[in-house]
């Protein structure tokens, strides 16, 4: 449990830091970018950040219950760990203590319902970035009030009993909190210079002095990220906003594997006392350096950022993109052939749940075979890659064609739930469905042929119902698990076989007649949290009914003593705890009511793209 909360603490610290690394001021030129090396392994930051007041504050007001109620369990765990620090100090080093202390201060602030950046010493618009210098992770942010930042650190030290050591690097003085002080000491370092706070690791002689100097801002990198223009290019290429963007540099990361002189490789070698060099020797031959780095050059980066960040409208809207960049035109051309059809039920469709898979099954076997052929026949000289090729040759995908022949012509499948209302009556278990509307579809070049294949799989279904004529629907004679308000229908609309019920389901099914069978996507998923909130309310009511019934009907006693015994305090408390946990879930989902999430994955000429959209209605 201790490790779990500490990992959570580290994750939360990174999350808070990441926010400051992506939401900070850039008075047309972000000063922090001049400290970031152009060859950083990872970056999260901005060009023109948006203020906390404009972005996060509206969300805090909207989700106040989540900020306050959701921290109860964390507060209890923090109290337990504080006690453990006192009773088992030998299990806690100073590095873990300060991270725990910072996390605890953060959670304490959350319990107040809002977080004010000025309380931590930051400005509403601050200049910050998260990046690496060689193997060193660095979080740098501008301080508006250094005294408040010092108070934050002091409070974290006091709470966790962390003991810092004052250290000097050249003329720079900073605090460090050791994780260990053996032959290879590692410490968490916190310092201030030129109005910036710097959080990094002190790895002693395991990293070059010049990297430490750049991390602390004593010297500037030979070429900065600002000078390289990398972020400007991301904005231009992908339409990212100039705040909240970043990347992961695959070309630099892969050199950890192929180059013994890379920063991360040197660090790993010292940490493992030379074992990593021995284990990775086969990948560091000139042949493997050429081949593996060549592959990385075809997939150079993962990039991410917001394309829309609107907290002024109702609903608030956040649109983001994560892309695996690719310069491998042949591979992307093949993958794009897999794209199939996903229904478009118009922009005003407010489905509770929707899932769409666009897959051109006719191309599945050819594409996989093409990728397999190119992988196994690629000209490589690296022995390790030749071994991979030999393994791939043992699994020829040609048999896949036989399986896909059963669903020849299939272009996609989808499901959309428009309405689901359950009777909120605890006397009915399971709950009765009052209203239901959905449409499911299977799209193909030859829908009659698809139905024929399905009939072969389930002859009984084929005997019960025939696929209707185009534009028509018939009752589908299936026995539902629960009584339904309306019958389920089977319809054929253009090239789409549909199963639907309800007024909205019927309209959406009929609308497919006008939708051509075009390749328009690969995968989509949408969710309205109102559905989960409704389910949680009913689940809570039925849970409470069960609790009441159990209390009114105790188990049969086997003795007179048992018949007169009172429930134990522990048992009563346990039941109360369960009810509180259920209520917390209900409150959390009720706070999320109306929030709509949508995500999609698609193959584009320049890479694999994941898009995310979130709508947050303002409270009435």
Residue 109's pLDDT is 81
Long-range contacts formed by 179-182: CB under 8 A, 24+ apart: 179/93, 179/94, 179/95, 179/96, 180/93
Residue 113 backbone class (left: φ over 0; alpha: ψ -120 to 50; beta: rest)? left
pLDDT tens column, 209-235: 999 999 999 999 999 999 999 999 999
In a domain, 423, yes or no: yes
Residue 77's Cβ-side half-sphere holds a number of Cα atoms within 13 Å equal to: 17
In a domain, 307, yes or no: no
Residue 127's pLDDT is 80
Same domain? For 368 and 434 the reply is no
User: What φ, ψ does residue 252 adopt, rounded to 5°?
Assistant: -75, -40
Ranges in the chain, pLDDT < 50: 1-27, 557, 560-565, 569-573
Same domain? For 194 and 132 the reply is yes
The CA distance from 106 to 57, in Å, is 16
* Complete DSSP assignment for 396-440: -GGGHHHHHGGGTTEEEEEEEEEEEEE---TTSSSPPEEEEEEEE
Residue 129's pLDDT is 92
In a domain, 196, yes or no: yes
- Picking from 183, 207, 224, the residue at the C-terminal end of a domain is 224
Same domain? For 379 and 525 the reply is no
Residue 208's pLDDT is 94
In a domain, 346, yes or no: yes
In a domain, 139, yes or no: yes
In a domain, 95, yes or no: yes
In a domain, 485, yes or no: yes
Same domain? For 391 and 488 the reply is no
400: which 2 tokens?
A: 């896949």
Intra-chain end-to-end CA distance of the chain, in Å: 40
Which stretches of 487-568 are DSSP H helices?
A: 503-511, 529-552, 560-564
Same domain? For 393 and 488 the reply is no
The CA distance from 353 to 440, in Å, is 11
pTM: 0.86
- Picking from 408, 431, 464, the residue at the C-terminal end of a domain is 408
- Picking from 224, 248, 279, the residue at the C-terminal end of a domain is 224
Same domain? For 66 and 191 the reply is yes
Residue 71's pLDDT is 61
Same domain? For 541 and 415 the reply is yes
Residues 6+ apart with CB under 8 A from 454: 461, 462
Q: How many domains does the chain have?
A: 3
In a domain, 469, yes or no: yes
Q: Domain containing 384: what range?
A: 364-408
Given 3-state DSSP classes, what are the helix, strand and coil percentages for the chain, each rounded to the nearest 5? 45, 25, 30
Same domain? For 467 and 349 the reply is yes
Same domain? For 461 and 609 the reply is yes
């Amino acid at each position: 449990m201790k490790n779990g909360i500490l990992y959570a603490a580290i994750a939360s610290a990174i999350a808070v830091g990441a926010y400051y690394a992506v939401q900070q001021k850039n008075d047309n030129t972000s000063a922090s970018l001049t400290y970031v090396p152009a060859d950083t392994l990872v970056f999260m930051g901005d060009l023109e950040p948006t203020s906390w007041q404009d972005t996060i504050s509206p969300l805090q007001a909207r989700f106040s219950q989540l900020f306050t109620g959701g921290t109860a369990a964390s507060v209890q765990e923090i109290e337990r760990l504080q006690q453990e620090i006192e009773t088992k100090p030998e299990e806690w080093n100073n590095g873990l203590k300060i991270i725990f202390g910072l996390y605890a201060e953060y959670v304490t602030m959350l319990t107040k319902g809002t977080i004010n950046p000025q309380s931590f010493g930051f400005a509403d618009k601050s200049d910050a970035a998260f990046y690496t210098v060689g193997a060193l992770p660095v979080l740098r942010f501008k301080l508006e009030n250094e005294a408040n930042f010092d108070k934050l650190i002091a409070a974290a030290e006091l709470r966790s009993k962390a003991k810092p050591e004052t250290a000097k690097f050249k003329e720079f003085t900073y605090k460090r909190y050791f994780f260990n002080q053996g032959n290879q000491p590692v410490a968490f370092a916190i310092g201030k210079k030129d109005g910036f706070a710097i959080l990094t690791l002190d790895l002693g002689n395991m990293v070059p002095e010049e990297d430490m100097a750049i991390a602390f801002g004593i010297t500037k990198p030979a070429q900065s990220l600002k000078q390289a223009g990398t972020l400007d290019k991301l904005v231009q290429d992908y339409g990212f906003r100039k705040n909240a963007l970043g990347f992961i540099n695959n070309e630099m990361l892969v050199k950890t594997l192929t180059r013994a002189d890379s920063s991360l490789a040197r660090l790993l070698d010292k940490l493992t006392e030379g074992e990593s060099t021995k284990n990775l020797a086969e990948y560091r031959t000139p042949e493997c350096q050429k081949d593996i780095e060549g592959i990385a050059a075809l997939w150079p980066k993962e990039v991410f950022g917001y394309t829309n960040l609107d907290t002024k409208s109702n609903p608030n809207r956040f649109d983001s993109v994560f892309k695996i960049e690719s310069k491998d035109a042949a591979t992307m051309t093949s993958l794009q052939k897999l794209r199939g059809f996903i229904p478009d039920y118009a922009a005003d469709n407010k489905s509770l749940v929707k899932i769409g898979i666009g897959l051109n099954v006719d191309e599945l076997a050819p594409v996989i075979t093409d990728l397999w052929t190119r992988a196994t026949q690629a000209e490589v000289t690296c022995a390790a890659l030749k071994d991979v090729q030999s393994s791939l040759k043992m699994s020829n995908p040609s048999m896949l064609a036989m399986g896909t022949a059963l669903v020849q012509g299939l272009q996609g499948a989808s499901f959309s739930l428009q309405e689901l209302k359950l009777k909120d009556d605890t006397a009915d278990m399971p709950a009765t469905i009052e209203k239901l509307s959905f449409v499911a579809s299977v799209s193909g070049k030859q829908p009659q042929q698809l139905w024929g294949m399905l009939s072969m799989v389930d002859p009984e279904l084929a005997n019960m119902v025939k696929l209707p004529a185009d534009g028509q629907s018939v009752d589908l004679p299936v026995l539902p698990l629960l009584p339904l308000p309306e019958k389920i229908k089977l319809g054929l609309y253009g090239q789409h076989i549909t199963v639907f019920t309800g007024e909205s389901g019927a309209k959406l099914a009929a609308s497919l007649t006008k939708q051509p069978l075009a390749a328009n996507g690969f995968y989509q998923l949408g969710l309205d949290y109102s559905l989960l909130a409704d389910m949680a309310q009913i689940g809570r009511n039925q849970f409470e009914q069960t609790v009441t019934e159990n209390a009114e009907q105790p188990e049969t006693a086997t003795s007179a003593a048992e018949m007169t015994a009172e429930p134990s305090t522990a048992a009563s408390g346990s039941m109360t705890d369960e009810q509180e946990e259920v209520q917390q879930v209900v409150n959390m989902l009720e706070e999320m009511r109306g929030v709509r999430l949508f995500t999609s994955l698609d193959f584009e000429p320049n890479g694999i793209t994941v898009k995310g959209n979130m709508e947050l209605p303002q409270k009435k």
